[in-house]
Structure 1
């Protein structure tokens, strides 16, 4: 199956007629699609009131929303390669498992974009706070092959 079919098999639905946000949630630059930061509905801070499992689920949710924005921009997930993720985790000063949280996004992208198309560079960084108190924010870069 291609990435599009894999995403649908994972339960992701695409509504390309959704109203555009104030800012572009995904922008095309040459053969790259660069996303704005997408945030989780999960609020709170890892190392305090949000568990690693909850953070993982939040990162997966964010990745699903990133895919919806990318789909809205280009019309299909087929023919894309994941290049880079920047994962931001709202963390206490002593929380050191940001990478485990952002695995929620990476694992989903590996499932959807099989083989080399899903392998990507990634950063997982702890932040003292994120906008509106969300637990996770992620930016992504995709290549149109």
Structure 2
């Protein structure tokens, strides 16, 4: 049986969708080095590599296929994505100003034999679709790497198009 979709659901902005999905954003992340988390140029918002940090500490450490499972990687990607959303909201004031997710880059620290990169990256992609809607889905690149900052398994890089 199909349930009718209310106009509220169809018209809901990103902030309402966060609320509807019970997503709580963490505090705006702080840089771990000599850089800034967000730079806006024109109508593009570039976010620095976001890590799975929660409460100021790494939520996960290790490499996929070695110390961590696909499910661990998906959870780490989701935490990193919440940090993306928090940084964007901190800069813009509201995620409703995001008109499109342009690009999602996902770097995954692996043991070299790991092959499930898309499943891990999908956790971040799926969260962005939940918040911004299917019409704003992004392009994506997923890379397996030998290591990432502080031994964390996931790093996300995101570019948003924003309204003035």
1:66-81 matched pairs, under 5 angstroms? 66-80=84-98, 81=100
CA RMSD of aligned residues (A): 1.6
TM-score norm. by structure 2 comes to 0.81
2:44 is aligned, of 26, 29, 32, to: 32
Checking the alignment, whether the CA contact within 8 Å between 2:26 and 2:83 is kept in structure 1 is no
Q: Please report how far the alpha carbon of residue 47 of structure 1 lies from its aligned counterpart in structure 2 after TM superposition.
A: 0.5
TM-score norm. by structure 1 comes to 0.91
* Structure 1 unmatched ranges of 5 or more: none
**Equivalent residue, structure 2, for 1:92:** 111
1:130-145 matched pairs, under 5 angstroms? 130-145=148-163
Q: Could you give the per-residue CA deviations for residues 57-83 of structure 1, whole angstroms, max 9, x where no partner exists?
A: 110110110000000111111131111
Checking the alignment, whether the CA contact within 8 Å between 1:45 and 1:91 is kept in structure 2 is yes
Aligned residues: 142
Residues 1:83 and 1:130: Cα distance change in structure 2 (over 3 Å): same
The separation in 1 between residues aligned to 2:103 and 2:75, in whole angstroms, is 19
* Structure 2 unmatched ranges of 5 or more: 1-11, 53-58
The separation in 2 between residues aligned to 1:19 and 1:61, in whole angstroms, is 11
